[in-house]
Amino acid sequence: MNKLLRNYVFNFGMGFLLIAASGCAPLIVGAAVGAGSMAYAKGDLEKNLEYPVENVHSAALEGLKDLGVFVKADALNRHSANISGEFDDGKKIQIHITALTERSSKLVIRVGILGNEPKSRMILNAVLNKL
Protein backbone atom coordinates (compact mmCIF):
# COMPACT_ATOMS: atom_id res chain seq x y z
CA MET A 1 0.00 0.00 0.00
CA ASN A 2 2.85 2.38 0.84
CA LYS A 3 4.40 1.82 -2.60
CA LEU A 4 1.05 2.49 -4.29
CA LEU A 5 0.69 5.81 -2.44
CA ARG A 6 4.22 6.82 -3.45
CA ASN A 7 3.39 6.06 -7.08
CA TYR A 8 0.27 8.25 -6.95
CA VAL A 9 2.15 11.15 -5.38
CA PHE A 10 5.00 10.79 -7.88
CA ASN A 11 2.62 10.65 -10.85
CA PHE A 12 0.67 13.66 -9.59
CA GLY A 13 3.87 15.67 -9.15
CA MET A 14 5.14 14.74 -12.61
CA GLY A 15 1.78 15.65 -14.16
CA PHE A 16 1.85 19.02 -12.43
CA LEU A 17 5.37 19.70 -13.66
CA LEU A 18 4.35 18.85 -17.23
CA ILE A 19 1.42 21.26 -17.07
CA ALA A 20 3.52 24.02 -15.49
CA ALA A 21 6.31 23.57 -18.03
CA SER A 22 3.89 23.79 -20.95
CA GLY A 23 2.60 27.21 -19.87
CA CYS A 24 -0.92 26.05 -19.08
CA ALA A 25 -0.64 26.47 -15.32
CA PRO A 26 -1.77 30.13 -15.33
CA LEU A 27 -4.90 29.15 -17.24
CA ILE A 28 -5.73 26.38 -14.78
CA VAL A 29 -5.05 28.63 -11.81
CA GLY A 30 -7.02 31.42 -13.48
CA ALA A 31 -10.10 29.25 -13.66
CA ALA A 32 -10.06 29.09 -9.87
CA VAL A 33 -9.72 32.87 -9.43
CA GLY A 34 -13.45 33.54 -9.67
CA ALA A 35 -14.39 36.16 -12.21
CA GLY A 36 -17.45 37.42 -10.38
CA SER A 37 -15.97 38.26 -7.01
CA MET A 38 -16.23 41.86 -5.86
CA ALA A 39 -15.36 43.39 -2.51
CA TYR A 40 -15.25 46.83 -0.90
CA ALA A 41 -12.73 46.98 1.93
CA LYS A 42 -10.61 49.72 3.47
CA GLY A 43 -11.71 52.23 0.84
CA ASP A 44 -10.92 50.05 -2.18
CA LEU A 45 -13.47 48.48 -4.48
CA GLU A 46 -11.99 45.34 -6.03
CA LYS A 47 -13.36 43.17 -8.81
CA ASN A 48 -11.88 40.29 -10.77
CA LEU A 49 -12.77 40.42 -14.46
CA GLU A 50 -12.53 37.91 -17.32
CA TYR A 51 -10.83 40.46 -19.58
CA PRO A 52 -7.14 41.19 -20.20
CA VAL A 53 -5.52 44.32 -18.77
CA GLU A 54 -5.61 46.16 -22.12
CA ASN A 55 -9.39 45.74 -22.49
CA VAL A 56 -10.13 46.81 -18.91
CA HIS A 57 -7.80 49.79 -19.29
CA SER A 58 -9.60 50.98 -22.45
CA ALA A 59 -12.99 50.47 -20.82
CA ALA A 60 -11.86 52.40 -17.73
CA LEU A 61 -10.72 55.38 -19.81
CA GLU A 62 -13.98 55.41 -21.79
CA GLY A 63 -16.06 55.04 -18.62
CA LEU A 64 -14.22 57.88 -16.89
CA LYS A 65 -14.74 60.08 -19.95
CA ASP A 66 -18.49 59.37 -19.83
CA LEU A 67 -18.53 60.36 -16.15
CA GLY A 68 -16.69 63.61 -16.86
CA VAL A 69 -13.61 62.63 -14.87
CA PHE A 70 -10.42 64.51 -15.73
CA VAL A 71 -7.64 61.97 -16.26
CA LYS A 72 -4.36 63.32 -14.86
CA ALA A 73 -2.09 60.29 -15.38
CA ASP A 74 -2.35 57.11 -17.36
CA ALA A 75 0.20 54.29 -17.52
CA LEU A 76 -0.22 50.95 -19.25
CA ASN A 77 2.17 48.03 -19.58
CA ARG A 78 1.74 44.34 -20.34
CA HIS A 79 0.84 43.24 -16.82
CA SER A 80 -0.73 46.31 -15.21
CA ALA A 81 -2.22 49.75 -15.68
CA ASN A 82 -2.68 52.78 -13.43
CA ILE A 83 -5.04 55.71 -13.96
CA SER A 84 -5.24 58.80 -11.77
CA GLY A 85 -8.02 61.32 -12.16
CA GLU A 86 -10.26 63.82 -10.49
CA PHE A 87 -14.00 64.48 -10.35
CA ASP A 88 -15.40 67.99 -10.86
CA ASP A 89 -15.82 68.30 -7.08
CA GLY A 90 -12.07 67.74 -6.58
CA LYS A 91 -12.31 64.12 -5.34
CA LYS A 92 -9.27 62.22 -6.56
CA ILE A 93 -9.55 58.74 -8.02
CA GLN A 94 -7.05 55.94 -8.44
CA ILE A 95 -7.60 52.91 -10.65
CA HIS A 96 -5.17 49.98 -10.63
CA ILE A 97 -5.52 47.07 -13.03
CA THR A 98 -3.35 44.00 -12.54
CA ALA A 99 -3.15 40.88 -14.70
CA LEU A 100 -4.22 37.68 -12.94
CA THR A 101 -3.75 35.53 -16.04
CA GLU A 102 -3.42 36.25 -19.75
CA ARG A 103 -7.20 36.61 -20.01
CA SER A 104 -8.26 37.97 -16.62
CA SER A 105 -7.41 40.93 -14.46
CA LYS A 106 -8.10 42.57 -11.11
CA LEU A 107 -9.59 46.06 -11.04
CA VAL A 108 -9.11 48.19 -7.91
CA ILE A 109 -10.87 51.57 -7.59
CA ARG A 110 -10.35 54.14 -4.83
CA VAL A 111 -12.08 57.51 -4.60
CA GLY A 112 -10.61 60.06 -2.20
CA ILE A 113 -8.23 59.34 0.64
CA LEU A 114 -10.57 57.23 2.76
CA GLY A 115 -12.64 55.83 -0.10
CA ASN A 116 -16.16 56.54 -1.31
CA GLU A 117 -18.17 53.40 -2.01
CA PRO A 118 -21.04 54.98 -4.01
CA LYS A 119 -18.66 56.82 -6.35
CA SER A 120 -16.43 53.75 -6.64
CA ARG A 121 -19.44 51.65 -7.65
CA MET A 122 -20.47 54.33 -10.14
CA ILE A 123 -17.01 54.09 -11.76
CA LEU A 124 -17.16 50.29 -11.73
CA ASN A 125 -20.54 50.34 -13.50
CA ALA A 126 -19.19 52.77 -16.10
CA VAL A 127 -16.23 50.45 -16.75
CA LEU A 128 -18.44 47.35 -16.95
CA ASN A 129 -20.75 49.09 -19.43
CA LYS A 130 -17.76 49.61 -21.75
CA LEU A 131 -16.54 46.01 -21.62
pLDDT, tens digit, 9 for 90 and up, residues 22-67: 555 444 444 444 455 677 778 899 999 999 999 999 999 999 999 9
The pLDDT value given to residue 23: 57
Domain residue ranges of the chain, discontinuous segments joined by +: 1-32, 34-130
pLDDT, tens digit, 9 for 90 and up, residues 83-120: 999 999 999 999 999 999 999 999 999 999 999 999 99
* CATH class as words, domain 34-130: alpha beta
104 — phi, psi (to 5°)? Answer: -140, 155
The answer to whether the beta carbons of residues 89 and 68 sit under 8 Å apart is: no
pLDDT at 18 over 80: no
First and final C-alpha spacing in the chain:
53
How wide is the angle at C-alpha 79 spanned by C-alphas 77 and 84, nearest 5°? Answer: 60
pLDDT at 11 over 90: no
The pLDDT value given to residue 60: 97
The predicted model scores a pTM of 0.71
Query: 15 vs 3, 11, 29, 31, CA distance in Å?
Result: 18, 6, 15, 18
The pLDDT value given to residue 33: 45
The pLDDT value given to residue 13: 57
Buried b (16+ CB within 10 A) or exposed e, 6-28: eeeeeeeeeeeeeeeeeeeeeee
pLDDT, tens digit, 9 for 90 and up, residues 55-79: 999 999 999 999 999 999 999 999 9
DSSP letter (8 states) at residue 69? P
